[in-house]
A and B are shown apart, each in its own frame.
Chain A
Amino acid sequence: MRDVKIVSARFDIDGMYRLDTALKEGAYSTLEKAFSMSGREIVDMVHRSGLRGKGGGGAPAAPKWRLVADDESGLDSVVVINCDESEPGTFKDRQIISKDPHLLIEGILLTSYAVGAHDAYIYIRGEYRPFEKILRRAIDEAYEAGILGESVSGSGYRVDITVHRGAGAYICGEKSALLESLEGKRGHPRLKPHAREPEWYFGRPTLVNNVETIATVPYIVANGPEAYRGYGTPESPGTLLFGMSGHIERPGIYEAEFGVSMMEYIERYGGGVRGKAGLKAVIPGGASTPVLTADEVKEARLDYESMRALGSSLGTGGMIVMDESVDMVGVLENLLGFYRYESCGQCTPCREGTGWSDRIVSSILSGEDDMGGIDKLMELADTMNGKTICVFAPAVAGVIKAFVEKFPDEFRAGRGGGR
Chain B
Amino acid sequence: MGYTLDPEILERLEELEKRYPSREALMLPALWEVMDKEGYISSEAMEAVADFLKVPLSKVYGVVSFYSMFHTEKEGRYRIRICGTLSCELCGASEILSMLMDRLAIGVGETTSDGKITLEEVECLGSCSTAPVMMVDETLHEKLTPERLEEILEELK
Contacts and interface: CB of A to CB of B under 8 A. Distances in A.
Interface of A: 85-91, 94, 119, 125-130, 160, 162, 164-170, 181-187, 201-202, 204, 243-247, 251-253, 283, 287, 318, 320, 322, 326, 331, 334-335, 337-338, 341-342, 344
Nearest to A203: B21
Contact of A119 (B19, B29, B81, B85): B19
B106 interface: no
A318 B19 contact: no
B130 interface: yes
Contacts of B128: 88-91, 243, 245-246, 251, 318, 320
Contacts of B29: 164-165
A166 B59 CA distance: 17
Interface string B99-130: 00000000000000000000000111111111
Contacts of A170: 123-124
Given A130-B139, A166-B67, A245-B87, A94 B26 contact: no
30 contacts: A86-B123, A87-B124, A90-B124, A90-B126, A125-B126, A127-B69, A127-B81, A127-B135, A130-B139, A160-B19, A162-B16, A162-B19, A162-B20, A168-B67, A168-B68, A170-B123, A170-B124, A182-B25, A184-B22, A184-B24, A185-B59, A245-B129, A247-B90, A318-B128, A320-B90, A320-B128, A322-B90, A326-B90, A338-B123, A342-B123
A36 B80 CA distance: 51
A164 B87 CA distance: 27
Contacts of A335: 86
Interface of B: 16, 19-22, 24-29, 31-32, 53, 55, 59, 62-63, 66-70, 81, 84-87, 89-91, 122-131, 135, 138-140
B129 A167 contact: no
B40 to A, nearest CB: 13
A184 B86 CA distance: 31
A335 B123 CA distance: 10
A182 B91 CA distance: 35
Contact of A202 (B21, B59, B84): B21
A186 B25 contact: no
A202 B24 CA distance: 10
B130 A338 contact: no
A191 B133 CA distance: 36
Contacts of A94: 126-127
A362 to B, nearest CB: 14
B72 to A, nearest CB: 13
A91 B21 contact: no
A252 B129 contact: yes
A129 B66 contact: no
* Residue from A127, A166, A247, A320 whose CB has the most chain B CB atoms within 10 Å: A127
A130 B138 contact: yes
Contact of B123 (A130, A244, A341): A341
Contacts of B81: 127
Contacts of B63: 184-186
A243 B127 CA distance: 11
